[in-house]
Structure 1
């Protein structure tokens, strides 16, 4: 059934295909100081993201070629682990995310409490240098990106692709997402920025062929008005998942409402 703006609900589970770049933050030992602005103030209730437990964080760029709501691009931030009232140990949390489709904005928020917002993406590979440049900008300022990453192949290393899946990763990849607020403006409603009332948990899975490439340059600022211009702790080696990567998002499990 479509909402009042004609966006159809596509409930989980989702099975998707695409390609991805994983920028690992603090891969050795984990960060204990959360980055200011890691969560958009429009999405979460005050204090809900205060109890940060550190751990390995990630910034991910994904190009989906096939999903239940069609192809789209995505930039998401996972700073690390956060305390959750629904488990004895902390869990990962997606605190900020940008996508190129209002259909996935609405469904990501409704199905999994993933705080999606619309953005404009550009992917460009230079024939001269071989560098791939990824930019992400707000729709209102498409020529002024807030995220820029320049990537290049590493001689020999990048030619080696190996089968990989998140089932092999040593960390707990179960996410606990707090309920999120609706962006209560005409544009927010039209963009699918709906709200929810209860927490959700889910454990996604990714698999495919992956290889390492090098991050030549990265700038990240003004995503929600408070991100710093420089992201500390980002590892120069980027895990590149080749086209054909599979991603499975199970249906979310509803958890009791909490004032944490």
Structure 2
């Protein structure tokens, strides 16, 4: 891929994110249709034991982050204004956490779309993140403060993801400075090696990759309204699920993606 800029880790990125949670999955057999691309299903489901989702991240009365025991999967949309490969948009699905032979646990990204080939190739090469290209529409909604988001495959006439994110009266006007670093290693990722995909930028990798991303920003609550027959996805390109209606946005987002630690086996 001589025409695509290589950008080794570490990466520092800036932008804005929207995060929501989906009811927990009980086992690998309950993964919803669209949880990953078909050609990566075997690679992304093997290695370690799937144990479920994350605790809900909440702002405490002392303006710190705390973790509750309720489990869920993660949905995240990020619009990066700055990155080593320029601005791009991203849609992420994380079904939950896996446990490995050393008893350590980590999340695993299984479905992720981005709006640039540079992000796709480098995300796979640097961290085994299974990125693919999609077209994003992120624009102001019809109501005050709303954001309408739709994502579609190149050449497709209809989106596979569509939702409106709206402010919540009073709650959305309150924001706190938040950082995932307050939770230690909780949000660590362990990504399996990837097979090559049908597009040139969907390169293969050969080793496992561990990473601890750090997100910082001003967090406030938001409401999500699904717009594909009451769901956010079409069940093909993205899971046809209904997230919890309340999540949060992070403005003035700073994200650090460091150099991954690689392993031959886990």
TM-score w.r.t. length of structure 2 = 0.83
Q: 1:133 to 1:114 in 2, by over 3 A?
A: same
1:148-167 paired onto structure 2 within 5 Å: 148-167=162-181
Match for residue 251 of structure 1? 259
Match for residue 211 of structure 2? 202
Q: Secondary structure at the match of 2:40?
A: coil
Which of 20, 26, 51 aligns to 1:32? It is: 26
What's the CA shift for 1:127? 4.5
RMSD over equivalenced CA pairs, Å: 2.0
Stretches of structure 1 that go unaligned for 5 or more consecutive residues are: none
TM-score w.r.t. length of structure 1 = 0.85
Structure with a larger share of its residues in strand: 2
Q: Secondary structure at the match of 2:181?
A: helix
Residues 37-73 of structure 1: per-residue CA shift (max 9 Å, x gap): 3222222535517842112221100000000000000
- The ranges of structure 1 where at least 4 consecutive aligned residues each deviate by more than 6 angstroms after the TM superposition are none
What's the CA shift for 1:94? 0.4
- Give the total of aligned pairs: 240
Q: Secondary structure at the match of 1:214?
A: strand
What's the CA shift for 1:131? 2.8
Which of 149, 152, 167 aligns to 1:137? It is: 152
Residues 121-156 of structure 1: per-residue CA shift (max 9 Å, x gap): 001213555432100100120x30000111111111
1:170-249 paired onto structure 2 within 5 Å: 172-183=186-197, 185=198, 188-189=199-200, 192-217=201-226, 218-224=231-237, 227-229=238-240, 231-232=241-242, 234-242=243-251, 244-249=252-257
Verify: 1:69 aligned to 2:85, yes or no: yes
Stretches of structure 2 that go unaligned for 5 or more consecutive residues are: 55-72
Separation of aligned partners in 2, 1:172 and 1:129: 35
